[in-house]
Structure 1
C-alpha cells in the first residue's frame, strides 16, 4: 500500500513525503571522519524514525568512489541506498551515469529546500532541473595555527593579512622554533594551495558554465606564482595527509591551511595538544583582497537501486536539512554545515575548549557567504592529474614562469577533454 500511495503522490506531482517512510533498512557508503559523523546522527534520526535501521559503512575515500562508479556502470548492482559524493567528483557521476541516482525533486525536494544551502555548494549537484544530491559539509578555508610557536616568535596572527605576510611570519616562526616548519603541502599528490588561492581570487580550472578552460587566467597565474614563492622561501615542507597528522601531533609544524573540516582532524587525531591551537582567516594576495575560499566538502545522493528511497530521503532531510543533524556532526567531528540556518545556531558562537576557548566556528563559518562558486565539471579528475604534474615540474624550475606552466596545463586539459581554452 505504501508503494501505491507513493506512486500516486508522484503522479500528482506532489513529491513523496518522508512521513510515508516509517520503517525499513538503509545502508550508506562513506569514509573516515565523514562516516563517523553520519553514525553520530543515527540516534537523533531514530528518535523520529525508530523503525528505520541505518548502517553506515566506512569504506575509505577512494574505495567509496571506485565502488560507486563500478556499481553505476553495472546498472546499480551492489550499490547501497545512499552514497557519499565529494563535490569535486560529483559531475563525474552525473555525466557518465545520469540514471544511477534519484532526482531528489521526485521525493519532495523543493526550490525552497534548495535555497537553504549556499549556491557554491549546489553548483555541481544540480543539472538542469534535476537535483542529484543534497549538500552535506563545506570546506571554508581557515588557517589552523599553534599559538605557542607564534607567540615565541612574536607573531600576531591578526597581522597576517597577505600571503607575503604569511611568508615573512613563517621565516620568523621557523627561526624562533628550531625543527618547526611553518606549514605543509602535499606537493607530490595534491594541488591544495593552488586550488585554495585560486578559488579565493575567483579563478578555477573551468569557467562557471563548464564549457571552457580557465586555469591559465591571470588570477590562477597569480596563485601558482605565490605557491612557488612560498616553497622557495623555505616555509613549506612536503607532507601527505598522514604525515601532516603526524607533524601536528609531534609539534613539528606551526600551521595547517585547509578546509574547515580539518578542525575535526586536528582535534581528534592530536588530543594532547588541547589548548595549543587557534584559527585565523586565510591571507589574500593583497591587504584588502578577498579572504574566503572552499576546499572539499561532500554531498549525499540516493541511488536508483535503493529499495527504500522514501526512508533514504527522510534520513537526508534530518541529517542535512535540520540544525540538529548538522550541529551534531559539527560538535562531534568538525563536519562544517552547509545548511545556512545552522550558522546561527548558538553552538557556533561558543568558545571551543580545544581551541583555547576561541569561537572558531563563528570565524570560519562567517566566510561561507563570501565563497565564489567553482565548477569541477566531469573533467575535474583529468584536470587535477595534469595540474599535479605541471605543478611538480614548475616548482622544480621546469617552466620559465607560472604563466608558461599553466598555459601548458590548459593545453593538455584541452587535448584531454576537447574543451577550448578561454
Structure 2
C-alpha cells in the first residue's frame, strides 16, 4: 500500500503490522499540518493523488465527507465490533448523514493545569474548586501582580467558548441544521466569560506567544485551561517548571455538574478516490490495527502526546503512573476519566462563520456594549443570515 497515511508518526505500528501480515508493505509519510492539508485538498480537488489512508482533524472530516470525498466505513466498523471500545463522545466526529467516514484516533480531554507554588502561597486548594464560582472566589486570593487565568484575545475566544459550550452539552446546530449558538448553554458560557473578566482575576496575553509562556514561567498567570496534549507543550517549552504543575478537572457550572469537555482531536479516513478494493481493504486493516491496539495507542501517548479515544487503552499501568513533572500526580488517569464523560458534539461545515461571529460578539460583550443574551442572539442571527439557515 503506497502512502498508507499522511501526518502519522512514521514509526507507529508499521514494523509489527508488516511482521504479522506477510507481504504487506506500509509506507507512511509524516507531514506538517499545513503541508498535509494543502496536499490533500489538492488531491481531492483534482480527483487523483490522495494517499490510501489519511489523518484528518475533526472539522476536516465533516468537510470532506460532505463533499463525497471519503469512503463510507460504517459496515466495516460494525463488522469489527469496536463501537464500545472507543469513547462515546468521539464517534460523532467521524459521522455525516448518519454514516461513518473514518476511524477515531486521538481526542483532547480537558483539564485545568495549575502552578502548585502559586496556589499554595495564596492558600488556594485545588480540591476545593468544584464550580466556576469556586474558581473565581479562590482566584481572588492571589496577589495583585498575579492572575488566576488568561482570558484569550478575540481571535482565540471562540475556542474557549466552544470548550465551555461542549462542557454544558451545547450543540452549535440542530439535527436539521438550524443555527443554535444563542441557546441557553451559549448564554451561560457568555455570562461566565463576562463574570471572569469582571472578577478581576484575569489577564489577556496572546496564546502561544513568548509572553504567554513567560507568564506561566514567572508566575503571573496561575492556571491554564487546556487539553491533555498541552502536557507535551509544557514539558518542551517550560522544562524549568518541572514538578511545579498539577491538573484538576474543569470546574462545573453548578454543583454536581459535568466537568468534562474536549479540545482537539483527529481521525483516519480512506479517500473515496481509492477505488481498488485491495488497497481499500489493506488501508482499513492497517487503520484498524493501529487505532484499536492499546499498546500502539499508548506508545503514541507517551511519545507524541496523542491521547487515545480507545478506552481499552486506559487499562494499562501507564495511566496510574506518577508523573514527576506534576509532582507525582498520575495525570493520565484524570484525563481518561474526563475522556469517558465528554459530551458528543455536532461538528458542522459552518464552523468558520460561527467562530467569526462568536469572536465579534464576545468582544462586544467584554467591551460592555452588549449583554450575554444579546451578544449570543446577534451572533446566531449573523451566522443564520450569512449561511441562509434558520434559527433554532
Same fold at TM > 0.5: yes
Partner SS, residue 85 of structure 2 = coil
Task: Supply the distance in 1 between the matched residues of 2:219 and 2:5 (Cα, whole angstroms).
Answer: 36
Which of 307, 314, 328 is matched with 1:336 structurally?
A: 307
Which of 128, 141, 149 is matched with 1:172 structurally?
A: 141
Instruction: Please list the CA deviations of residues 264-303 of structure 1 after superposition, one character each: whole Å capped at 9, or x if unmatched.
Output: 2222332332211111011012222211111221111122
Which of 101, 104, 112 is matched with 2:73 structurally?
A: 104
Correspondence for 2:390: 420
Correspondence for 1:161: 130
Q: Is the 8 A contact 1:292 1:371 kept in 2?
A: yes
Instruction: Please list the CA deviations of residues 195-237 of structure 1 after superposition, one character each: whole Å capped at 9, or x if unmatched.
Output: 1221111213222x25222211112101111112212324232
Instruction: Please list the CA deviations of residues 342-385 of structure 1 after superposition, one character each: whole Å capped at 9, or x if unmatched.
Output: 12222112212222121111112112232211102222222122
Q: Is the 8 A contact 2:109 2:227 kept in 1?
A: yes
Task: Supply the distance in 2 between the matched residues of 1:42 and 1:154 (Cα, whole angstroms).
Answer: 50
Correspondence for 1:126: 95
How far apart are 1:251 and its partner, in Å? 4.6
Task: Supply the distance in 1 between the matched residues of 2:365 and 2:90 (Cα, whole angstroms).
Answer: 31
Partner SS, residue 291 of structure 1 = coil
Q: Is the 8 A contact 1:171 1:235 kept in 2?
A: no
Q: Does 1:197 align with 2:167?
A: no
Stretches of structure 1 lacking an aligned partner (at least 5 in a row): 1-23
Correspondence for 2:233: 265
Correspondence for 2:202: 235
Q: Does 1:181 align with 2:138?
A: no
Q: Is the 8 A contact 1:145 1:279 kept in 2?
A: yes
Partner SS, residue 296 of structure 1 = strand
Change (3 A) 1:90 1:185: farther
How far apart are 1:145 and its partner, in Å? 1.0
Q: Is the 8 A contact 1:139 1:261 kept in 2?
A: yes
Task: Supply the distance in 2 between the matched residues of 1:67 and 1:228 (Cα, whole angstroms).
Answer: 41
Q: Does 1:52 align with 2:25?
A: yes
Q: Is the 8 A contact 1:167 1:235 kept in 2?
A: no
Q: Does 1:206 align with 2:170?
A: no
Using structure 1 for the length normalisation, give the TM-score.
0.83
Correspondence for 1:292: 260
Change (3 A) 1:169 1:56: farther
Correspondence for 1:16: none
Q: Is the 8 A contact 1:28 1:55 kept in 2?
A: yes
Task: Supply the distance in 1 between the matched residues of 2:153 and 2:319 (Cα, whole angstroms).
Answer: 33
User: Which deviates further from its counterpart, 379-388 or 139-148?
Assistant: 379-388
Change (3 A) 1:395 1:344: same
Which of 41, 58, 69 is matched with 2:41 structurally?
A: 69
Using structure 2 for the length normalisation, give the TM-score.
0.89
Which of 10, 25, 47 is matched with 2:2 structurally?
A: 25
Task: Supply the distance in 1 between the matched residues of 2:324 and 2:213 (Cα, whole angstroms).
Answer: 20
Q: Is the 8 A contact 1:117 1:338 kept in 2?
A: yes
Task: Supply the distance in 2 between the matched residues of 1:59 and 1:326 (Cα, whole angstroms).
Answer: 20
Partner SS, residue 338 of structure 1 = coil
- CA RMSD in angstroms comes to 2.5
Correspondence for 1:396: 367
Which of 256, 260, 263 is matched with 2:224 structurally?
A: 256
Change (3 A) 1:65 1:252: farther
Correspondence for 1:275: 243
